[in-house]
Structure 1
């Protein structure tokens, strides 16, 4: 797991944590784990974009140590590609530089190769090893932690016993059942539990393979965690310490989002969603309603789900093997047996039905929602709602109904100036506006 990084140990002693050696910052060109030409291109592109740039600023953008940047700038100075624009009072680390005409020419050539400007990548092999190290052990969340994460939901008492083992196993979970009963909310609660209770995860901003850059960092997915003093001093800043990511997709998911995406203009790759989700959760909501068929996803993921390894391919044809180490959650209101075949379902270890609430649960949900929306509960009004709008028309109760009906009642009362109460009259008005009258539709 991702324990706090400790300072380097003496050469005679083994490292306390293998992540220490993996994320040791390079101090010189000799220690740099990517081609020096890639860093030179990056520095020239920064100077091209920003003009006069301080050494500190270049270090911040590339996330490399100042002494390494100084070594490269000295080399570029000797080659007449950069020159000192401003000399600071505290030595070379306070200098600012600009590119010469020849340097600007080299920068344009660098932009032809890739327009990526940002943290320097790390070799993809280091990324693979880091994910393997950080996901090699199962999580150990307790029943109390899982129940607490789900405490804002009204669910059967033993529901956590189906969810908890899947979270700790970090494999896959299939949530199914009729719409409007909280499958997505359950999955989102699981994602928050992973992010808040599990150790943080170290992931680089970008990786490189065969001269190409693959960007992993997404500000919408990766939330930084504070570093300890030792981590701030001894960890390569090309790596970030993040809360475990939660990737959520719905009907917009396409096969392209599951492959390396190369931008022909910017000329670098964006990592696929499952790669960004490594160490966290990947929720496929409304499964079966994507722009691609479930069978296509089955064919794409049947091997990764079995082996924990995914295979990607560069546009040159070169294959890339990466860990497939995230909690995959499928959520659907369609019949699972009609969506995918038995081979796929066997590879999803936990299948959990999220069913409609019974009368007791429905009442508890309604009480909670009425309190949230400032509506005074009346026993007569609730009994009227259940009898008139559920039992007589034989309508299924859904967990989402109390929230939606309370919201409508609140909006009606704000409009009319009435006191928001659960009266039979307001129940009728809210339900007429909420439920579709099937008999009226037949007369069209």
Structure 2
């Protein structure tokens, strides 16, 4: 007799424990075959010369448990040899002549040496478990994330629902009004950290995912010197990623990169940004036409998955799980058609600050730049002579930029760091020469 069970209500499901990779005990539970392990071990020993069994396990990010027997098997085949005894019933190993020849053969097939890969299916499951679509930041989360920026209440009211949608948004408006700064802080609204594999094994190919240039790892304190704990070291805990691509973005960056010399694949930018945000800065100024990017992503934005082609010609379906942000100084309707705008339902204008906000930004930046006092008469002079009289609009970047000019003027002339009308006149003359 079977017993029917009802699914957990949404409130209980959301309270599930956060994702953490399960520890593996052997090569089978890691989803790896002995041939792949052998290639990684021999290539590593070829590079370092001599290493203990525990050191080999550490470099591959795997538990030490199955290695003694595995290395004994390689020794029986005269592929490796003992060079010395090591602590805790371990040995130091080096390659024999036959082992070096085999290692060089493995290097010709693929030059990757390092942490063992994670099966692709495990990676897909991890993205689903940590999906940004399941996060629902509230107003308190937004205010915490934007605590170091001055954001209008109208902007907060628009940003909240847009971020919760998980479907992406356009940030548009005049240059200097903080579009990029806003976009870079949106990731902070979605929890804190996620786990990603360092490398992925997909259809026999090793795909590098962890990127130190775009991923910020979290330092973890290990619970045991001998690695007998609950952590799979093939994974790394990182802050939710924020990938920024500007005018340098090309179509090639959105496809799997294959290093033909080393036979190694690297994940595209949108895959590296999964469970985070992907900011397309200065949209419309890339070396490819906007319509090319839109056609490439029109299906992923709708379905939340993408198709990528491997070097062997096979296509794989990968998660497309990030908040896509388009930051532009141009009107969205001038860049894209109606079909694409429908898939990016939120368009938020980063408008010019009011005079009150402009003054408040001077108060915020001044002490950070070393000004002990704020001379209101000098600020009044700046606004009256360089904004009101000529009907110049305020921009969010200008208080910081003008104060920096005043600071540099004082330093160069060996003057006390303070605000004076003539100092602001000098700064404005330089700053607004061609604006």
Which TM-score applies when normalising by structure 1?
0.88
| Conserved 8 A contact 1:25-1:64 | no
**Which of the numbers 358, 365, 385 marks the counterpart of 2:361?**
365
Match for residue 384 of structure 2? 387
Q: Does 1:126 align with 2:136?
A: no
Aligned to 2:432: 435
The equivalent of 2:302 in structure 1 is 306
* Equivalent position of 1:4 in the other structure: none
Give the corresponding residue for 2:3. none
Task: Give 1:111's match in structure 2, choosing from 107, 110, 127.
Answer: 107
Query: C-alpha distance in 1, partners of 2:387/2:184?
Result: 29
Check whether the contact 2:63–2:228 (CA below 8 A) recurs between aligned residues.
Answer: no
The separation in 2 between residues aligned to 1:229 and 1:282, in whole angstroms, is: 34
Correspondences of 1:48-87 after superposition (within 5 Å): 48-87=46-85
Measured on the aligned residues, the alpha-carbon RMSD in Å equals 2.1
Distance 1:190 1:256 in 2: 26
Gaps of 5+ in 1: 1-15, 439-444
Moved more, 254-263 or 66-75: 66-75
Q: State the distance in 2 between where 1:56 and 1:191 align.
A: 38
For 1:413, what is the secondary structure of its paired residue? helix
Structure 1 window deviating more from structure 2 (96-105 vs 204-213): it is 204-213
Is it true that 1:415 corresponds to 2:417 in the alignment?
Answer: no
- The partner residue of 2:26 within 25, 28, 31 is 28
1:219 maps onto 2:212 in alignment: yes
Residues 167, 343 of structure 2: 8 Å contact kept: no
TM-superposed deviation, 1:226? 3.2
Q: CA separation in 2, counterparts of 1:148 and 1:133? A: 25
Q: Deviations over 1:222-255 (max 9, x none)?
A: 3225368699822322122222111112111111
Please give the alpha-carbon distance, in whole angstroms, between the structure 2 residues aligned to 1:338 and 1:281: 24
Q: Which residue of 2 aligns with 1:37?
A: 35
Paired residues of 2:137 and 2:189 also in contact (CA < 8 A): no
In structure 1, what is the equivalent of residue 137 of structure 2? Answer: 141
- The answer to whether the Cα contact below 8 Å between 2:169 and 2:348 also exists between their aligned partners in 1 is yes
Pairwise CA distance, 1:300 = 0.8
Alpha-carbon distance in structure 2 between the residues aligned to 1:244 and 1:406: 33
Please identify runs of 4+ aligned residues in structure 1 that moved more than 6 A.
Answer: none
**Aligned mates of 1:173, 1:420 — CA distance in 2:** 42
Unaligned runs of 5+ in 2: 1-15
Secondary structure of the residue aligned to 1:67 is: coil
What is the aligned counterpart of 2:396 among 395, 399, 410?
A: 399
1:345 to 314, 317, 341: 341
What's the TM-score once normalised by structure 2's chain length? 0.90
Secondary structure at the aligned position of 1:406 is classed as helix
Task: Answer yes or no: is the 8 Å Cα contact 1:171–1:325 preserved in 2.
Answer: no
Aligned positions, number: 416
1:353-411 Cα shifts (integer Å, max 9, x gaps) = 10111111111112222222233322222222122211222222111111010000011
Deviations 1:54-85 (A, max 9, x none): 11111111001112222321221111100111
Select which of 255, 266, 274 maps to 2:270.
274
